[in-house]
Structure 1
């Protein structure tokens, strides 16, 4: 199995309950893990994805009630796009109208139909119609019909001053290849990877730098099969690009290192193992609050300050 591509995307949200309602009820994703920000345990960390929370399907959030809105700018993820069956954009357009979701008219991008929209806290998202996606497995735990359900990530779009330095990291370290250009967009694709296999770079010098806040993407994580694969990527970053990562951090469901790529976006390298069933049965994913061992002794204190989401 190929291990290239996006592992997960992590963003900043506002009200926790509203975040859960939008991603589970409106978009029909599964809440596969309910835990806390390990560095700020008074804050939830939600993980949404497919039935198993497979790499390439996982969108995660740190929700803070009173977070100030972010500002789009250079050095940030401009848009996070999901894959849906090619014939499903009409269904989603009607659903967004019905549920009051802010969205734009569909456009063509690299020959594909793209429906852009925003979540309640301003995160920039899109659905991309993909031929044949209807034949792939879909989470059916919501009222979104299986034939229209989201099938993981299509791509992320980075807004950068220059494409080439970041492109060098994508190709040399993460196994992507440049496959096309369209106006100011440069598209990179991970070979053999459909779900989470595309990174677009929007080259736009002269813009203001991004300001992190509500609706902003905090970081993008790329896949490593295991610790050995991660170590090889870290070696290439140091030897070929002069970039050093953080020490490895155990996130319970994957192990991670972090670094700033040349365009200043925070990148993570996350292992596919052990996965979200490490502490919860697959049928029960996302039902209970899960804490790492070092926080378990503070469970009652943590539960007392976390907001209600049900």
Structure 2
């Protein structure tokens, strides 16, 4: 009966850097890419040996530009990967050449270890130990499988006793570390008494999963854990699993070996297709637009620049050369409007932008004092910052500012409307969905200030803010913009009529 680690899962904030490290530098194979089974708007990547064998898998949930976490007790702190013992010197040279943070070599538990940090700061140990791969990778010094993990705990004895349920037994202790071993790998229990607790987020390891030989064993474990917080059995398509927290709080998973990653892809093309969880099949097209894109080593890629606003590109399979800049509403993010924009213009490149202001933890484009009273200084400051972003994004990505179409909804439309008045000529083509006038003292515009600017204003007949929309229309017309305004049979929410009107206006 197999025991040991099935996989380890972390959280990354930059998908391309993550792929470059695990598939590029380390040489693991990307064996599966899928929308998350808990949240399909979250990309999940699986790396492993040539077939994604249990015991070789390192997986990452992608929280693109998400908040960083903090490593502390009640968490998995390190991943250890086995590499051929004679390759440690080559790996040290490879890490130094690639400018990857590295410490060592050192001796731990009688093994030679290099400590690396991935782009998120996750500690990855390369351990020189002869553990053959179940399905070898092309690179002769590539990691063969997982050697183990390190858990930080304030209750080392209780943590060790709980981990023993999954087929582990005590081995030699070294300082504050108690090692447990299975027939394949090791779990190091580090006494972190007095250390601060971990906080979930990017740059942390979310959980470690142990191997269950089959679904019968999984259900037996569920019965054995009935006095804990163990979850029901989840169908993750490629394996069945349950989750439980050990006494110190570290999240553990118990996962079956079968059916495995060749369930829906042949071995030759593993990891080449983005799959959507079956429960979200109706949203598949929307999700494929919203999930972050990346390139595998050797593939053509679009470099992402660090600009003043968090942003996301989506490039369609057959781009027509047009670009739509998307500004979300209150509480949204840079991907919210991508499904709508794809339906409006299927072959347009999409540039989603995230507002920089926040209100009780939700994203906005500028601060407000109440629902209809807005921070005028902040509007002007953010409009100026957005104008600078448009300029730097155009230079960074080779875009023609005059050809960009800007589409904003609600708070995003309000920022666009203000920016059009405060920075004439910045925005030449605008679709404002439920936009209103938020400037209390709009700048006087010369009659030709907005000449050559086109704007579509789509309001809702039942929108409680509709009374503030005509003032924006008048201001844009006074500046010489070609304005088309329509009142739709809708409220503040978007409707199918918005899609039809926007598509017709663009055509």
TM-score by length of 1: 0.92
Following TM superposition, by how much is the alpha carbon of 1:304 offset from its aligned partner in structure 2, in angstroms? Answer: 1.1
1:153 aligns with 146
Q: Secondary structure at the match of 1:72?
A: coil
Match runs of 1:33-72 below 5 Å = 33-72=32-71
TM-score by length of 2: 0.57
What is the aligned-residue RMSD (CA, Å)? 1.4
Match runs of 1:150-189 below 5 Å = 150-171=143-164, 173-189=165-181
Matches of 1:266 and 1:54, distance apart in 2: 22
Matches of 2:29 and 2:173, distance apart in 1: 34
Match runs of 1:1-310 below 5 Å = 2-130=1-129, 132-133=130-131, 137-140=135-138, 145-146=139-140, 148-171=141-164, 173-190=165-182, 193-194=183-184, 197-238=185-226, 242-310=227-295
Following TM superposition, by how much is the alpha carbon of 1:220 offset from its aligned partner in structure 2, in angstroms? Answer: 0.8
**Cα deviation 1:10-47 (Å, max 9, x = unaligned):** 10001112211111110000000010112222221000
Following TM superposition, by how much is the alpha carbon of 1:67 offset from its aligned partner in structure 2, in angstroms? Answer: 1.6
Aligned residues: 295
Change (3 A) 1:243 1:134: closer
**Cα deviation 1:74-114 (Å, max 9, x = unaligned):** 11111110000111111111111111111112111111011
Matches of 1:48 and 1:252, distance apart in 2: 17
Matches of 1:289 and 1:212, distance apart in 2: 26
Following TM superposition, by how much is the alpha carbon of 1:211 offset from its aligned partner in structure 2, in angstroms? Answer: 1.2
Q: Tell which deviates more after alignment, 52-61 or 227-236.
A: 227-236
Matches of 2:288 and 2:55, distance apart in 1: 30
Highest relative contact order (Cα 8 Å, sep 6+), 1 or 2? 1
Unaligned 5+ runs, structure 1? none
Is contact 1:86–1:133 with CA below 8 Å preserved after alignment? no
Unaligned 5+ runs, structure 2? 296-507
Following TM superposition, by how much is the alpha carbon of 1:116 offset from its aligned partner in structure 2, in angstroms? Answer: 0.6
- After superposing on structure 2, the runs of 4+ consecutive aligned residues of structure 1 that deviate more than 3 Å are 132-137
